[in-house]
Homo-oligomer: A and B are copies of this chain.
Amino acid sequence: MPDILTFADICAAAARIAAQISHTPVMRCTPLEAELGAEVFCKCENFQEMGAFKIRGAANAVLSLSTAAAARGVATHSSGNHGAALALAARRRGIPACVVMPENSSAFKKRAVAEYGAKIIYCESSMRGRETALQNYVAQSGATIVHPYNDPLVMAGQGTAALELHEEVPGLEWVLAPVGGGGLLSGTAVATRALRPGCKILGVEPLGADDAWRSLRAGHIEPVAHPDTVADGLRATIGPLTFEVLRTQVDEIVRVAEPAIVAAMRFVWERLKIIIEPSAAVVLAALRERLVEVKGRRVGVILSGGNVDLDHLPW
């Protein structure tokens, strides 16, 4: 069986998407470094196009379509950052995009997707309602479904953030990334194993949506029936492909409680003066809660995004 995701796939993605993404800066988290006695390098994907790393995977998938398939467009049912990312990637290629969203999605999320010019189809908020609406659209349009994470091209795109991080910061001993569906962590792990074999790879998940943690312990995918966390980007359940990559490539997954996530988010806003979303804060929460001993180490973290509804802050 061929590898689901190789380092070559990530390098190809990096070349493919280079003109469409930002080479985001790395910021030292000096206030946290003082607390931990470690060096902490933050890959600031909150400064990425459309505010999150998701454009990397979406752009890689969209740019990999044949001309014929591209003309029929792309579709997804993620209402979060992936929906907006796919809309933007499609607009950049000049092809149609459709995002299926529950009617009760927040105005904030609807606006983000609409801003990039995607067609929005509203559906019931159940998973069944979403999938039915998506299948109907695809049957009629011939659009290609781009899954938010369980897709090797998407995973490869997400791995380009870690690729850039290692290029800019040599000698990392730990790398941390959040886990939702596992696309970012899969790409991060494969890039890190190739570039820096001795580096520990850690996933961080909210306690209230710890399906990846449970699944890796059980040896099979164990969804969480009702994920409940402020980190709305991390409520997704890992898929068969991401599960396989995480199972073989990741050293450990740790879990953080809600108050620690909110506190870490606020810490970054107050001390680093940058906007990160709760899903990005989990990695710093894990460090601040000492869930991993990094004293004296060089640590890289992926700050995954900065899309926050400023009218509904978690404090």
Shortest CB-to-CB span from A233 to chain B, Å, is 15
Within 8 A of B (CB), among A261-315: 266, 269-270, 272-276, 306, 310-311, 313, 315
Within 8 A of B (CB), among A127-168: none
A311 neighbours in B (Cβ, 8 Å) = 315
Q: Is A53 an interface residue (CB 8 A)?
A: no
Q: Is A223 an interface residue (CB 8 A)?
A: no
CB pair A273 B274 closer than 8 Å: yes
CB pair A313 B310 closer than 8 Å: yes
Chain B residue with the shortest CB-CB distance to A52: B273
Q: Is A47 an interface residue (CB 8 A)?
A: yes
Shortest CB-to-CB span from A10 to chain B, Å, is 25
Q: Is A25 an interface residue (CB 8 A)?
A: yes
Q: Is A73 an interface residue (CB 8 A)?
A: no
Hey, what's the 0/1 contact readout for A51-72 against B, CB within 8 Å counting as 1?
1000000000000000000000
A306 contacts which of B47, B273, B315 (Cβ < 8 Å)?
B273
CB pair B273 A51 closer than 8 Å: yes
CB pair B310 A266 closer than 8 Å: yes
A275 contacts which of B25, B269, B313, B315 (Cβ < 8 Å)?
B269
A25 contacts which of B25, B51, B272, B310 (Cβ < 8 Å)?
B25
Chain B residue with the shortest CB-CB distance to A44: B273
Q: Is A188 an interface residue (CB 8 A)?
A: no
CB pair B313 A273 closer than 8 Å: no
Q: Is A46 an interface residue (CB 8 A)?
A: yes
CB pair A310 B315 closer than 8 Å: yes
Bound together, the chains give a CA A51 to CA B273 distance in angstroms of: 8
A47 contacts which of B266, B273, B275 (Cβ < 8 Å)?
B273
- The residue in A266, A274, A310 that gathers the most chain B C-beta atoms within 10 A of its C-beta is A274
- The residue in A46, A273, A310 that gathers the most chain B C-beta atoms within 10 A of its C-beta is A273
A272 neighbours in B (Cβ, 8 Å) = 47
Chain B residue with the shortest CB-CB distance to A47: B273
A313 neighbours in B (Cβ, 8 Å) = 310, 313
Hey, what's the 0/1 contact readout for A19-56 against B, CB within 8 Å counting as 1?
00000010000000000000000000011000100000
CB pair A46 B310 closer than 8 Å: no
Bound together, the chains give a CA A245 to CA B211 distance in angstroms of: 63
20 A-B contact pairs sorted by A residue (CB < 8 Å): A25-B25, A46-B273, A47-B272, A47-B273, A51-B273, A266-B310, A269-B275, A269-B310, A270-B310, A273-B274, A273-B275, A273-B276, A273-B306, A274-B274, A274-B275, A275-B275, A310-B313, A310-B315, A311-B315, A313-B313
